[in-house]
Structure 1
């Protein structure tokens, strides 16, 4: 059954009654808290903070920190007595997903593992299929350096690596038949080819394939 949160009772709670979830994956840098505090000071808290019955915050960690930053002593809270522990955890992730791009990836994966083991519907958390597949593929140790923060820089790095790889490939050996488009000639044709190669080697001062390529380039024969 879908719950209309706007119809749930709101309580005034001492701000120190609330506590952050130890597994909350949303990061709140000081700069973000100060920015949110300025907004709250002017407009108030638009979305009421939601907590579990023991005061653990489900939705509104940033709003709570901003209110503390402003020196507030009380806040309006919706205490979600209707949720199981797993449902509260799922709501916490889903709420973060709708507003967040900055996660503690280890904590996020840990919470997803708990929900996965509980057979919770992970598709309801706000991730697309690709994101969910990556997040649930490996719950081992996470190297956060794999989470690219600057996609533009990553693309340029990859492009540079591709250029270097292409250079290496260009300098590697390849069968002459791949270049010519045929692998065998008759004895008579072979004599003609050898005579031609002798002439261009004399003209270019180079040998073999280097002489042939130089001759083609010097005479504008390349496509």
Structure 2
């Protein structure tokens, strides 16, 4: 297996036709590099033109770094490098956050401001999974909410999240009146 190597930034060339607009991502990536280090190498072709890692490259420039970890993918043809450049960015678009797990993970980070890495307060919302049938069948215990003559299945996490939202609402208003309208309008 090939290893990454340290390479001078001046020896790396950004791909001239990079179709991604990276400007908004530079600052969060800079913050990540400052806090955690430069742990993911930039991938370049045999001529040291960036295939993957334009934002890391731009962040490194802004930080004034002289050398960064680089993986030279010399084995890729020009067409493969072009396809990989596109595929790496496109495949990321298919990922989604699991709102429940994201909230748990964000809550567990107590000493770092996650907005430094692009997270906003509204990144975690009351979010019932689109395919709640599959979600609820995988749970050993299940709660039900009585609503309009129906027993609506809820996971333990959904019950906890709904209770949290209700407590926040009643703390603000002093009553639960209007709570449903409140969560539907968020």
Q: TM-score range by the shorter chain?
A: 0.3 to 0.5
Computing the radius of gyration from Cα coordinates, the structure with the larger value is 1
Q: Give the structure-2-normalised TM-score.
A: 0.48
TM-score by length of 1: 0.40
